[in-house]
Amino acid sequence: MQLLDGKFVSEKLKEEITAEAAGVLAILGRKPHLVAILVGHDGGSETYVASKMRNCEKVGFKSSLYRYDTSVSESELLAKIKEINRDQEVDGLIVQLPLPKHIDPEKVTEAIDFRKDVDGFHPVNLGRMMRDLPCFVPATPYGILMMLEEYKIETSGKHCVVVGRSNIVGSPISILMARNDYPGNCTVTLTHSRTKDLKDVVRSADIIIAAIGKKNFITEDMVKPGAVVIDVGINTEVSTTTKSGFKLYGDVDFVNVAPKTSWISPVPGGVGLMTIVGLLKNTLASAKKEIY
Ligand code: GUN
C-alpha cells in the first residue's frame, strides 16, 4: 500500500502557486484576490473558511471575508454579491455553504458572476464542464484529479465507483472521471443510498471515490485487493484528546482497508488539503484571465 499524501502534494503545488501569484502581482500591480462570504456560526464552515483565508495569505493572495449573522435577509446577501461581482479587483467569490433555511442556495449560487465562481458551482460552469469546455472545476473534484495526476495513477479503462451523488463532489467527479482525458477514461458507476447491492458494486471497483459523509462506511469486505481508494469524507466527532476539540474521520475504515489497497488517501492529510489547492488554482486562473 502507498499513501496518496495530500500534505506533500498540496505543499508542493502551493509553492508553484506562490511563484505564479508573484508574477500576477508584477504584471497587474495587485495580488490575486479571493472574497468569501460566511453566514452564521456553523463550526465546520468557520474552520473551512478560516483555512481558505489563511492559505490565500500563505501563497501571496489577498483575501477578504464578509461575515453575516444568521438573520441576514436573502436580498441583503444578493445585493452584496452583486456589489462584489462589479469589483474589478476581485477575482474569486465564494459563499460558504450551508446557508440558513430562509436563504435559497440556488439563488445565491446563480447570483455569483460565473467568471468569479471559483467554487465552480454556478450552472454555467457545471454546464461547460459537462461539455469539456474551459471552466472553473469544483475544488474538491479538481483536487482529486491533481492528486491522481501527481502520483501518475492509471485511470484509462478502469472501473471507477463513486459513492455519493452530491452536487459538490459525487456528481461532478463522476463526469470528470469518465471524460476523454487524463485523469479520466474510466467506466464510472455513480452509487448512492438507493443503490442495490452496493457492497458488490464497490467490490468491483478499481478506483473507489468515497464521498458519502459517513464515518467508516467503506469497510474492508467492500474493497477489491489492489484497488485505489480516495477518501473524501470529512466527518467530525467531539474529542477530548485533540486541541481543536474535535477529531476528523473519513468515509473509509482506513486501518482495515489500507492493507488491501494499492493506493489510499488518508483523512486528515488527504483530499481535504487538495480542495484548498483547487480553490487557489481557480482563483489564480481567474486573476490571469485563463478561463474567461
Ligand atoms: N461547503 C462545503 N464545501 C464547500 C465548498 O467547497 N465551497 C463552499 N462555498 N461551501 C462549501
Q: How far is CA 280 from CA 164, 199, 284, in A?
A: 25, 36, 6
Mean of the per-residue pLDDT values of the chain: 97
List the chain pLDDT tens, one digit each, 292 residues.
999 999 999 999 999 999 999 999 999 999 999 999 999 998 889 999 999 999 999 999 999 999 999 999 999 999 999 999 999 999 999 999 999 999 999 999 999 999 999 999 999 999 999 999 999 999 999 999 999 999 999 999 999 999 999 999 999 999 999 999 999 999 999 999 999 999 999 999 999 999 999 999 999 999 999 999 999 999 989 889 888 788 999 999 999 999 999 999 999 999 999 999 999 999 999 999 999 9
Residues 6+ apart with CB under 8 A from 74: 102, 103, 104, 107, 108
Q: Which of 5, 14, 31, 52 is catalytic?
A: 52
Alpha helices in the chain (DSSP H): 6-28, 43-58, 74-86, 105-111, 123-130, 139-150, 170-178, 198-203, 254-257, 271-287
The one catalytic residue in 80, 96, 231, 281 is 96
What ipTM score was computed for the predicted complex, to two decimals? 0.95
Q: Tell me if 94 is assigned to a ligand binding site.
A: no
Spatial contact of 43 and 96, defined as CB atoms under 8 Å apart: no
Q: Is 214 a catalytic residue?
A: no
**Side-chain-side CA neighbours of residue 82 (13 Å):** 7
Q: Which pLDDT value is given to residue 242?
A: 84
- Would you call 90 helix, strand, or coil by DSSP? coil
Best residue among 63, 97, 236, 276 to mutate for probing ligand 1's pocket (most ligand atoms within 8 Å of CB) is 97
- Among the listed residues 5, 91, 117, 119, the single catalytic one is 119
CA of 97 to the centre of ligand 1 (A): 5
Contacts of 291 (CB under 8 A, 6+ apart): 115, 134, 135, 136, 285
**201: β partners:** none
Would you mind telling me the total number of residues written for the chain in this entry? 292
Q: Residue 97 corresponds to which amino acid?
A: L
Domains in the chain: ranges and CATH: 13-116 (3.40.50.10860), 139-272 (3.40.50.720)
